[in-house]
Amino acid sequence: MGHGPAAATAARFARMYARTPEGVAFAPGRVNIIGEHTDYNNGWALPAAVNLATFVAWAPSDDGAVRVWSETCGDEAVFEMAEASSAPAAFWARYAWGVGMALLEEGLPARAVDLYSDSSVPIGGGLSSSASFEVALALAYLGEKEAEKVPRERLVHICRRAENHFVGVNCGVMDQFSSVFGAEGKALLLDCRSLEAREVAFPSDTVMVVADTTVRHALGEHTEGYHKRQQECRRAVEVLARREAAVSSLREVTREMIEAHARELGDVLTRRVRHVVSENDRVLEAADAMAASDVAALGDLLRASHQSLRDDFEVSCNELDIMVEVAEGIDGYYGGRLVGGGFGGCTISLVDEAKAQSFCGELQRRYKEATGLDAGIHAVRPGRGAGFKGARCWT
């Protein structure tokens, strides 16, 4: 299997289970370049898979149970995979159980396997470590021959159902879609209502610097903020649908509708809707800017997105704001924002590739000076989607 993370995962599996794995599946995390909290509102997003991924080695188990070791969590879970089985006690293990249960619901094999998982995707950092884990697990349960029979869009929905129904996190579909459909050097302009997507070339000589504030959120354990925003969006749709026949989601809302019904919505819901509507516009503008390699315009759109997430959607936090603020003025910086659900996690910065190394060092220095915290920083470009053995893409 050669060198690299897939080979390392296979070797660790062999040491743990005293046999060679049947294979190694991988699934990348994703950076959502722009389009935050739009996916569950049937809007637009511009995500890209990145070269940070979860790797899962597997082999059939000897006793009919599923056994999974997570190197990231330093923990093992053992459970039965059957219709009447119950969720494991450890929260992280519910993902492994939930993916298997969702496969079974679809009439697909969720084999009893031994699993070893490791990941370079920061947990709770806004880079969709959960979707990365889910997709890699689904491929491992299925194996290469069975996975090739499953349409990719179907797998996206299975993994999302695992997180929504079995784990209890009401995420949208963007994360799983990005992990499965990612393309080298391309972002995906994703219509979250139709799941139609087109590839947009990422500007050459440019990278995304992902900066981990180290402030953690866990959407499944502390869901108040994330789920509250979803509830507020649903309430806003109910208010607007009584007045506007065309409205079935925030996707159909216009700026004129917000102004016309601001009093009925009230201050909080008005600001929530304003973020989603303006963010959808920014996504489409960003795709055009990216296609034209207009990095200055793209950077300005990222800044505007952060301001909207901070002020209208209120999902930022002190450390995220500091990370964005201290990036300003560093040589090579075009613009940036918080990424992911918010309430902690990571920011992304659009940066000149030639200046990325010095940018990362200076950003880390400034952030530590302002907060006393050591940021984890990665420079990434769009990478390919999920596959096997870290070699060929799964199709």
**Separation of alpha carbons 211 and 127, rounded Å:** 11
Per-residue pLDDT for 391 more than 50?
no
Rounded to an integer, what distance in angstroms lies between the CA atom of residue 348 and that of residue 342? 12
Question: 370: burial class by Cβ within 10 Å (0-12, 13-18, 19+)?
Answer: middle
Instruction: In whole angstroms, give the CA distance from residue 281 to residue 301.
Output: 10
Residue 276 pLDDT more than 70? yes
Enumerate residues 6+ apart whose C-beta is below 8 A from 300: 335
For range 247-258, the mean pLDDT: 98
Region of residue 281 (phi > 0: left; psi between -120 and 50: alpha; otherwise: beta): alpha
What pLDDT sits at residue 392?
Answer: 40
Q: Quickly state the pLDDT bin for 98 (edges 50, 70, 90).
A: very high
pLDDT of residue 2: 53
What's the pLDDT tens digit per position in 35-74? Answer: 999 999 999 999 999 988 999 999 999 898 999 999 999 9
CB count in 10 Å sphere of residue 64:
11
Q: What is the mean pLDDT of residues 316-327?
A: 97
d(CA 217, CA 254): 32
Which tokens go with 346? 């990571």
Cα–Cα distance between 142 and 58 in angstroms, integer? Answer: 10
pLDDT at 125: 67
How far apart (Å, rounded) are the C-alpha atoms in residues 193 and 178?
15
Give the pLDDT mean for 11-32.
Answer: 96
CA distances in angstroms from 7 to 33, 56, 82, listed in the order given: 30, 11, 31
Can you list the alpha helix ranges (DSSP code H) found in the chain?
5-17, 91-105, 129-147, 152-161, 174-181, 224-241, 255-260, 262-291, 295-311, 318-327, 356-371
CATH of domain 5-202: 3.30.230.10
State how far the Cα of 150 lies from the Cα of 159, in Å rounded to an integer: 13
Q: Which residues of 187-204 are buried (b: 16+ CB within 10 A; e: fewer)?
A: bbbbebbeeebebbebbe
For the chain, give every domain's residue range.
Answer: 5-202
Q: What are the tens digits of pLDDT across the range 228-238?
A: 999 999 999 99
Quote the distance between the C-alpha of residue 313 and its chain's center. 19
Q: What is the DSSP code string of 227-272?
A: HHHHHHHHHHHHHHHTT-TT-SSGGG--HHHHHHTHHHHHHHHHHH
pLDDT for the residue numbered 312: 98
Q: Are 137 and 23 in contact (CB under 8 A)?
A: no
Residue 85: predicted pLDDT = 79
Residue type, position 393, single letter: C
Q: Catalogue the active-site residues.
A: 175
pLDDT for the residue numbered 1 = 46
0.75 cut: is pTM over it? yes
Model confidence at 220: pLDDT above 80: no
pLDDT value of position 83: 72
When mean pLDDT is compared across 58-67, 70-79, 122-131, 326-335, the lowest value belongs to: 122-131
- 115 pLDDT more than 50: yes
Q: Give the residue from 264, 266, 240, 234 showing the smallest Cα distance to 254.
A: 240
Please tell me the predicted confidence (pLDDT) of residue 217.
56
